[in-house]
């Protein structure tokens, strides 16, 4: 059974704020997971990871996280990544209030 | 309370200046993250899930009112208006921005505080009994020795790159409230046959991945030998500690692999070499420090007002029964201010609450505040006649929860709501447990109960020594909670035993309830605590309550 590549997004933390950010297809760092580029191919994933990791004045701790397509763009797979898209569960702090409109 | 010497002051200021430049150089690109990371960690700055986190040391858990007010100011100015007190007697700010950190460190230095050695493989903040200097059962205030250890270990050139981090805890009482047996070095004050005070020295305790109770390497160490002896322990560890494997690098593994006898011999040999090199300066310094920790001028006044109020006011009586501890001066009481209001985050305090506690400490508490490893705030010296007024003021600010030592007085680490190392959330579990048992109205009936929750194997929430311990894990991409029973963090320290397979996020609170109900059913009387009952009957009835009576499943 050949293992299928699980789609990925490139994610990191913003250097100054520390907030979770996601690399978009047009080379921006978005605070919204749904705006991330959903990467379906391993070579491309590695290339995008290298591209992101080179942006040392904008982000820190760049890595690939599993993701899946959703109606409004990519969605996280693992609960840790889901929490990173929201913020903590004990207070209305972080993205869940700052990026809501 | 100890005040910084010129040397302390100059050292901290120099560090703030250095770090300010390092942040600038990181932001302009002259330092890479690889270069900057160890520098920021040396100054307590971590990168977490949603933001940076600054961990500030509160040496031996002692604060004065101005320091507490400054923490409130920092929380309001550069964070989100609150701070989180931890099991290491530190405070963590969860939302600082990198560019603001130099200003925060400067504000800390203004009140003789810092974030140095709250990370890295060095001697961390020395923790102490939070009732130090006040407890009725105390032999001597352990904080002068803790301060001596702080000065000695701060920037100690030999011990900045140990195999792994190193934690020292100290208590001046035979009753251990500082979990000394779960530290790399635990120091418990005892008296010898001649009634002289000294220390039982315990080495190699620790929680985390491989929990271990410390071994006693010296039953009685004279006070004057403390520093050379601690240095001998560090020195032996620095040589023998496993630098090849991070998971085997703590001294508990060194002790385990070397054997108690052999490690004791090595320590004693090294001590014999070091002892003559200590010419008495340490003792002269200790004498100065001891003077700074002289007890406050206790007031002599009647306590009838307290007695009358206690008899008349139900809410006050409930609070006094749980939140007060005997003071060595019978007119006084030790007040524990619970940071565990039902449904709230254990250990969090808002800036307004911090300011109120600072004001109350100044007015009624001889300007002394403590942070306990159980994530509460202590006013160690309050005259009983002031307690009714104090209680009323605390009530106004959500700080009069009468639950110290009860089931809702839980320890919970930040878990996956904040911590980058977490494998599951802790805080919401704590919130749900305290809310549930409040709804049931069972807290008082259950009595003494310590639940402790960690969001990963690192065990910052001390779950191994909880009467009921909860460990959050990631099982195949789902949060899963493993239960341990029978842990104990006191002088009768014990590591809790796993019950069996873990429980899902929405199953863990009902599971805890089943354990508690089983206990209520089987206890001999209300006087038999959960821990006593567990020691009498063992795990079987609780496993039956958790997993059904058809038998135990294998531990996961
Ligand atoms: S126990 Fe784990 S999750 Fe909790 S604070 Fe420590 S490292 Fe983080």
In chain B, residues 431-460 whose CB comes closer than 8 Å to chain A: 431
User: Residues of B with CB below 8 A from A15's CB?
Assistant: 26-27, 98
Q: Does A43 touch chain B if contact means CB atoms closer than 8 Å?
A: no
- Please answer whether residues B383 and B332 qualify as being in contact, where contact means their C-beta atoms are separated by less than 8 angstroms: yes
pLDDT of B552 > 70? The answer is: no
Let me know whether B162 and B234 are in one domain: yes
Q: Which of B212, B232, B210 is nearest to B221 (CA)?
A: B232
pLDDT tens-digit map of B148-162: 999 999 999 999 999
Let me know whether B344 and B230 are in one domain: no
Centre of ligand 1 to C-alpha B423, Å, is 8
Domain ranges in chain A?
8-100
Let me know whether B144 and B187 are in one domain: yes
Confidence of residue B555 (pLDDT cuts 50, 70, 90): very low
User: Residues of B with CB below 8 A from A92's CB?
Assistant: none
Q: What is the DSSP pairing of strand B62-63 with strand B127-128? A: unpaired
Confidence of residue B549 (pLDDT cuts 50, 70, 90): low
Let me know whether B104 and B198 are in one domain: no
Structural domain includes residue B129? no
DSSP state of B149: H
pLDDT tens-digit map of B512-522: 999 999 999 99
pLDDT tens-digit map of B162-189: 999 999 999 999 899 999 999 999 999 9
Structural domain includes residue B385? yes
- Please answer whether residues B57 and B90 qualify as being in contact, where contact means their C-beta atoms are separated by less than 8 angstroms: yes
> Is the CB of residue B458 below 6 angstroms from any atom belonging to ligand 1?
yes
Q: Considering only the beta carbons, identify the residue of A15, A18, A61 that sits closest to B50.
A: A18
CB contact under 8 A, B427 and A20: no
Quote the CA–CA distance of B335 and A32 in Å, as a whole number.
46
Region B323-339: what's the mean pLDDT? Answer: 98
Q: What is the DSSP pairing of strand B168-171 with strand B185-191? A: parallel
**pLDDT at residue B159, as a whole number:** 92
User: Residues of A with CB below 8 A from B417's CB?
Assistant: 83, 88-90
Q: Does A33 touch chain B if contact means CB atoms closer than 8 Å?
A: no
Let me know whether B381 and B264 are in one domain: no
Structural domain includes residue B42? yes
Of B369, B396, B423, which one is at a domain's C-terminal end? B396
C-alpha gyration radius of chain B: 23
Of B352, B369, B396, which one is at a domain's C-terminal end? B396
Quote the CA–CA distance of B5 and A94 in Å, as a whole number.
40
CB contact under 8 A, B474 and A94: no
Let me know whether B325 and B224 are in one domain: no
Structural domain includes residue B1? no
Q: Classify residue B280 as exposed, middle or buried by CB count within 10 Å of its CB (0-12, 13-18, 19+).
A: exposed
Q: Which of A52, A58, A80 to mutate to test the interface with B (most CBs of B within 10 A)?
A: A80
Let me know whether B249 and B388 are in one domain: no
pLDDT tens-digit map of A46-95: 999 999 999 999 999 999 999 999 999 999 999 999 999 999 999 999 99
Which chain A residue has the Cα nearest residue B477?
A: A78
Query: Which residue among B460, B472, B479, B481 is best mutated to probe the pocket of ligand 1, counting the most ligand atoms within 8 A of its Cβ?
Result: B460
Q: Does B478 touch chain A if contact means CB atoms closer than 8 Å?
A: yes
Distance in Å, alpha carbon of B31 to nearest chain A alpha carbon: 10
- Domain of residue B212 covers 134-291
**pLDDT at residue A1, as a whole number:** 46
Let me know whether B206 and B321 are in one domain: no
Of B396, B431, B453, which one is at a domain's C-terminal end? B396
Q: Considering only the beta carbons, identify the residue of A19, A80, A89 that sits closest to B428.
A: A89
Atom of ligand 1 nearest to the CA of B424: 3
> Is the CB of residue B473 below 6 angstroms from any atom belonging to ligand 1?
no
Number of structural domains, chain B?
A: 4
Q: Does A2 touch chain B if contact means CB atoms closer than 8 Å?
A: no
pLDDT tens-digit map of B5-43: 898 899 999 999 999 999 999 999 999 999 999 999 999
Q: Considering only the beta carbons, identify the residue of B29, B51, B474 that sits closest to A18.
A: B51
Let me know whether B383 and B469 are in one domain: no
CB contact under 8 A, A93 and B80: yes
Atom of ligand 1 nearest to the CA of B459: 1
Residues 6+ apart with CB under 8 A from A15: A56, A57, A58, A59, A60, B26, B27, B98
Structural domain includes residue B477? yes
Q: Considering only the beta carbons, identify the residue of A61, A79, A94 that sits closest to B47.
A: A61
**Could you tell me the CATH number of the domain that includes residue B16?**
3.90.480.20
pLDDT tens-digit map of A3-58: 789 999 999 999 999 999 999 999 999 999 999 999 999 999 999 999 999 999 99
CB contact under 8 A, A56 and B32: yes
In chain B, residues 274-333 whose CB comes closer than 8 Å to chain A: none
Let me know whether B196 and B284 are in one domain: yes
- Please answer whether residues B68 and B361 qualify as being in contact, where contact means their C-beta atoms are separated by less than 8 angstroms: yes
Structural domain includes residue B340? yes
- Please answer whether residues B59 and B341 qualify as being in contact, where contact means their C-beta atoms are separated by less than 8 angstroms: no
Dihedral of alpha carbons A84, A88, A94, A95, sign: positive
Distance in Å, alpha carbon of A48 to nearest chain B alpha carbon: 19
CB contact under 8 A, B416 and A95: no
Q: Does B547 touch chain A if contact means CB atoms closer than 8 Å?
A: no
Q: Does B33 touch chain A if contact means CB atoms closer than 8 Å?
A: yes
pLDDT tens-digit map of B87-130: 999 999 999 999 999 999 999 999 999 999 999 899 999 999 99
- For A87, phi and psi rounded to 5 degrees? 120, -175
pLDDT of B277 > 50? The answer is: yes
Among protein residues, the one with the nearest Cα to ligand 1's atom 2 is: B456
Quote the CA–CA distance of A45 and B549 in Å, as a whole number.
51
Which chain B residue has the Cα nearest residue A17?
A: B97
**pLDDT at residue B134, as a whole number:** 98
Quote the CA–CA distance of B185 and B201 in Å, as a whole number.
7
Quote the CA–CA distance of B249 and B273 in Å, as a whole number.
25
Query: Which residue among B85, B455, B481 is best mutated to probe the pocket of ligand 1, counting the most ligand atoms within 8 A of its Cβ?
Result: B455
User: Residues of A with CB below 8 A from B99's CB?
Assistant: 16
Structural domain includes residue B127? no
- Please answer whether residues B214 and B491 qualify as being in contact, where contact means their C-beta atoms are separated by less than 8 angstroms: no
Q: Exposure string (b/e) for B151-171, b if CB count within 10 Å is 16 or more?
A: bbbbeeeebeebbbbbbbbbb
- Which position has the token pair 């990181």? B26
pLDDT tens-digit map of B412-452: 999 999 999 999 999 999 999 999 999 999 999 999 999 99
- Which position has the token pair 């250990």? B347
Centre of ligand 1 to C-alpha B48, Å, is 11
Which chain A residue has the Cα nearest residue B346?
A: A90
Distance in Å, alpha carbon of B431 to nearest chain A alpha carbon: 9
* Mean pLDDT score across all residues of chain B: 96
Let me know whether B267 and B329 are in one domain: no
> Is the CB of residue B460 below 6 angstroms from any atom belonging to ligand 1?
yes
Q: Which of B23, B27, B46, B49 to mutate to test the interface with A (most CBs of A within 10 A)?
A: B49
Q: Considering only the beta carbons, identify the residue of A56, A77, A84 that sits closest to B50.
A: A84
C-alpha gyration radius of chain A: 13
pLDDT of A2 > 90? The answer is: no
Let me know whether B140 and B284 are in one domain: yes
**Could you tell me the CATH number of the domain that includes residue B548?**
3.30.413.10
């Amino acid at each position: 059974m050949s293992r299928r590549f699980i789609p990925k997004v490139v994610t990191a933390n913003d250097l100054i704020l520390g907030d979770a950010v996601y690399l978009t297809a047009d080379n921006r760092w978005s605070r919204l997971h749904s705006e991330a580029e959903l990467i379906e191919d391993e070579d491309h994933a590695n290339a995008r990871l290298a591209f992101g990791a080179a942006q040392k004045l904008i982000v820190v701790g760049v890595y690939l996280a599993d993701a899946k397509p959703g109606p409004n763009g990519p969605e996280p797979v693992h609960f840790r990544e889901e929490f990173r898209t929201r913020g903590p569960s004990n207070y209305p702090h972080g993205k869940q209030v700052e990026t809501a409109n | 309370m100890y005040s910084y010497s010129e040397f302390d002051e100059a050292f901290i200021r120099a560090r703030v200046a250095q770090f300010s430049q390092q942040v600038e150089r990181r932001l302009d690109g002259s330092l890479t993250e690889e270069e900057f990371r160890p520098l920021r960690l040396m100054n307590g700055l971590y990168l977490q899930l949603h933001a940076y986190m600054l961990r500030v040391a509160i040496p031996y858990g002692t604060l004065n009112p101005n320091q507490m007010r400054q923490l409130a100011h920092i929380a309001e100015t550069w964070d989100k208006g609150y701070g989180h007190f931890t099991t290491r007697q530190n405070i963590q700010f969860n939302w600082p921005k990198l560019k603001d950190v130099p200003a925060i460190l400067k504000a800390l230095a203004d009140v003789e505080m810092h974030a140095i050695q709250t990370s890295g493989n060095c001697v961390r903040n020395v923790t102490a009994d939070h009732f130090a200097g006040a407890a009725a059962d105390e032999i001597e205030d352990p904080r002068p020795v803790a301060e001596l250890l702080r000065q000695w270990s701060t920037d100690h050139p030999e011990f900045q790159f140990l195999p792994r981090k190193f934690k020292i805890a100290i208590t001046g009482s035979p009753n251990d409230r500082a979990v000394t047996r779960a530290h790399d070095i635990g120091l418990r004050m005892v008296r010898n046959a001649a009634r002289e005070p000294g220390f039982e020295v315990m080495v190699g305790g620790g929680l985390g991945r491989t929990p271990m109770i410390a071994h006693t390497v010296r039953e009685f160490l004279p006070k004057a030998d403390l520093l050379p002896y601690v240095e001998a322990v560090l020195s032996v560890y620095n040589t023998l500690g496993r630098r090849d494997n991070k998971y085997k690098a703590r001294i508990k593994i060194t002790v385990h692999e070397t054997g108690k006898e052999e490690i004791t011999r090595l320590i004693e040999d090294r001590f014999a070499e070091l002892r003559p090199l200590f010419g008495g300066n340490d003792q002269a310094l200790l004498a100065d420090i001891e003077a700074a920790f002289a007890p406050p001028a206790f007031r002599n006044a009647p306590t009838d007002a307290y007695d009358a109020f206690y008899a008349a006011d139900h809410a006050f009586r409930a609070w006094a029964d749980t939140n007060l501890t005997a003071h060595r001066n019978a007119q006084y009481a030790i007040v524990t201010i619970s940071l565990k209001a039902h449904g709230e985050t254990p250990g969090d305090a808002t800036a307004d609450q911090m300011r109120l506690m600072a004001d109350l400490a100044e007015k009624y508490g001889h300007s002394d505040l403590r942070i306990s490893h159980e994530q509460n705030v202590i006013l160690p010296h309050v005259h009983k006649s002031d307690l009714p007024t104090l209680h009323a003021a605390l009530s106004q600010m959500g700080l009069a929860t009468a639950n110290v030592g009860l089931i809702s007085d839980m320890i919970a680490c930040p878990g996956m709501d904040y911590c980058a190392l977490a494998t599951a959330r802790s805080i919401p579990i704590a919130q749900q447990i305290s809310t549930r048992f409040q709804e049931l109205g069972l807290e008082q009936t259950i009595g003494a109960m310590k639940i402790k929750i960690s969001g990963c194997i690192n065990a910052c929430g001390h779950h191994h020594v909880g009467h009921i311990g909860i460990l959050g894990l990631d099982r195949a991409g789902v949060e899963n909670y493993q239960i341990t029973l029978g842990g104990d963090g006191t002088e009768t320290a014990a590591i809790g035993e796993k019950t069996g397979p873990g429980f899902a996020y929405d199953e863990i609170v009902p599971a805890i309830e089943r354990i508690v109900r089983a206990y209520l059913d089987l206890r001999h009387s209300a006087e038999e605590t959960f821990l006593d009952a567990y020691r009498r009957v063992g795990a079987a009835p609780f496993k039956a309550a958790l997993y059904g009576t058809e038998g135990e499943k294998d531990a996961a």
